[in-house]
Structure 1
Amino acid sequence: MQAKKPRIPTPVRIPETASFLLAYRDYLVANAVSPHTRNAYLSDLIQCSQYITFPMPQWTKSEIEQVLAQLSQAGKSPRSVARCVSALRSFFKFLREQKLRTDNPLSQHKTPQIGRTLPHDLSEKEVEALLDAPNIYTALGLRDRAMLEVLYACGLRVSELINLKLELINLNQGYLRILGKGNKERLVPLGQHAKEWIEKYLLEARPQLIKSHIDYLFLTQHGGIMSRQNFWYALKRYALIANIQTEISPHTLRHAFATHLLNHGADLRVVQMLLGHTDLSTTQIYTHVAQIRLQQLHAKHHPRA
């Protein structure tokens, strides 16, 4: 008989903590932290606040370690606990900058080791099948084909894709101006196929979708801005149509972009620039994926393998 997981405690209502979290949210907005990270940090802090009955700004290192231990006992994964550590470290940094504390009890705390997960690998044939899945004879299908082409051709994050504005696209010279994490700007070559599908979408599909003046490139059927969820559901549907057995997400095409570039001889630092990675070590994970793929091809096709 399996042991039951410890029950997550009922939230404790602490007005002082809530007011500090509101101020912290404004601080994150002022520092241009992405909405996704901002919401994740606030969610983690609210979760942490359920374990101690007095305001979070007064917590000591001992109480924080107690909270982290309770999160682990409640069945939270090392990755989730690591993100809570990051959220708490950022929150106490905010308190210190606001002169509300003189220390950051997490400044020397080591983030839990979560290991590095290799990205799911899509073959070039699978990517082709996925790109061909949308029905391009409908406005939404043509939009989705253009989105998939851009995602794969440019290696964008899904947030970068759905936030593309018309002013960021230069079809004449064939590049996108991307505002990535931390509002860092990079130029990404568009590629002929993606350029042609954007042009086709702008000419034939977008006029059918637009309901009012809006400068975002990709629109919903109601003329609104695409969301991560909108695109995620569409991608899942097209993966089924393409008979792709691997569990995929929008990030899978970003992985495929990097891996396929390296398979065809691209320089690692070029891939780093295209992906918008600050640290080369983040990009190096794709060299492992490329090497595994090459080993598989060698084993399959070489007569002496």
Structure 2
Amino acid sequence: MNWNRYIKDYQSYLRIERGLSKNTIENYGFDIERLCLFLEVNQIDVSPLKITDETLQQFIYEIAKEVNPRSQARIISGLKSFFNYLIFEDYRNDNPLELIESPKTGRKLPDTLSVEEIDSLIAVIDLSSNEGERNRAMIETLYGCGLRVSELITLKISDLFFEEGFIKITGKGNKERFVPIGKFAQRYIEIYQKEIRSNLVIKKGFEDTLFLNRRGSQLTRAMIFTIIKSLAEKVGLHKNISPHTLRHSFATHLLENGADLRSIQLMLGHESITTTEIYVHLDRSFLKEVMYSFHPRK
């Protein structure tokens, strides 16, 4: 896995360029070694340049069973610093811990939007602009299909199977899955394609890409974040939301309405059911309600 080289370089960086103490540097190194041990025990052969947020979520879920919230927050902070260093040195172009928040008391759970809040986000979209029709289709697809932002921006027209009620998603590791798509998302996509996309001058290489910017090329992840943040401000939502918030909400609403975890796992494209358990952040009040509704000894 070749972690040692990167760990040593990182520790040199902390000592020489940041001037941190020996103890602090050792603690940072210990956090990374703990992650390496987790990978070894679970036979996950991956380098620090290729490790994904899902694997790190699984690791954090495991350490949450062993350490208190304060220690957990420190470990997350240390790992974030390590991956920021890899970005700084141009080894990676993203931090896989970017969307994982440190806990304040207990594990920090992501914000989830209610159906009413999602409806309000879509309602404030200005449909008089070309971008408005596109944004409505994108928001509905993100929430309606539970997509990652990277899956949304790379979605192809050739991946739409509306007659069958599915779209084909190419997820992490180029793994493909079919996800059901609802009538709202289908209708908004069709309107966007017919009224907006068909009038764009499309750049070479993006002829099959569904959602395009005004210059006819693929949207960036940052642009999707900006669109959603802007809509949240218009609505007056005081939650820290992102494209992942819609994915969390998709999974949570399915669970609350009776869907089983295995089905949610398949739709989200998680390799491990453990990741899905973290993702939908099962709350105790809902579990108690399920027990009282279905257990014979309630």
> TM-score scaled by structure 2?
0.64
Give, in whole Å, the separation in 2 of the partners of 1:246 and 1:84: 25
For 1:50, the aligned partner's letter is Y
Give, in whole Å, the separation in 2 of the partners of 1:278 and 1:204: 38
| SS of residue paired to 1:247 | coil
| SS of residue paired to 1:188 | strand
CA gap of 1:243–1:82, structure 2 versus 1, over 3 A, is same
Alignment of 1:129-140 (within 5 A): 129-140=120-131
Partner of 2:150: 159
Give, in whole Å, the separation in 2 of the partners of 1:184 and 1:287: 22
Give, in whole Å, the separation in 2 of the partners of 1:49 and 1:144: 45
Shift of 1:284: 1.4
Match of 1:261 among 246, 254, 259: 254
**2:225 equivalent to 1:232:** yes
Contact residue 31 and residue 79 of structure 2 kept, 8 A: no
Partner of 2:29: 68
**2:80 equivalent to 1:79:** no
Partner of 2:60: none
Shift of 1:220: 0.9
Give, in whole Å, the separation in 1 of the partners of 2:230 and 2:194: 25
Shift of 1:46: 7.0
Post-superposition CA distance 1:279-300 (Å, at most 9, x none): 111111355445446889xxxx
**2:13 equivalent to 1:50:** yes
Give, in whole Å, the separation in 1 of the partners of 2:259 and 2:166: 18
Partner of 2:141: 150
| SS of residue paired to 1:230 | helix
Shift of 1:276: 0.7
Shift of 1:208: 3.2
Give, in whole Å, the separation in 1 of the partners of 2:211 and 2:249: 22
> TM-score scaled by structure 1?
0.62
CA gap of 1:193–1:77, structure 2 versus 1, over 3 A, is same
Alignment of 1:48-127 (within 5 A): 48=11, 50-51=13-14, 65=26, 68=29, 77-82=74-79, 116-127=107-118
Shift of 1:242: 2.0
Structure number with bigger Rg: 1
Contact residue 127 and residue 133 of structure 2 kept, 8 A: yes
Gaps of 5+ in 1: 1-23, 28-42, 54-61, 89-112, 297-305
Shift of 1:77: 4.9
Partner of 1:281: 274
Contact residue 144 and residue 181 of structure 2 kept, 8 A: yes
Partner of 1:21: none
Partner of 1:33: none
Partner of 1:247: 240
Partner of 1:172: 163
Partner of 1:190: 181
Segments ≥4 residues shifted beyond 2 Å? 43-49, 64-71, 80-88, 113-117, 207-213, 285-296
Give, in whole Å, the separation in 1 of the partners of 2:248 and 2:128: 29
Q: How many residues align?
A: 220
Give, in whole Å, the separation in 2 of the partners of 1:169 and 1:45: 47
| SS of residue paired to 2:13 | coil
For 1:122, the aligned partner's letter is L
Partner of 1:212: 203
Contact residue 178 and residue 185 of structure 1 kept, 8 A: yes
CA RMSD of aligned residues (A): 3.6
For 2:29, the aligned partner's letter is L
CA gap of 1:291–1:205, structure 2 versus 1, over 3 A, is farther
Contact residue 112 and residue 246 of structure 2 kept, 8 A: no
Contact residue 28 and residue 78 of structure 2 kept, 8 A: no
Post-superposition CA distance 1:194-217 (Å, at most 9, x none): 011110110011123333342211
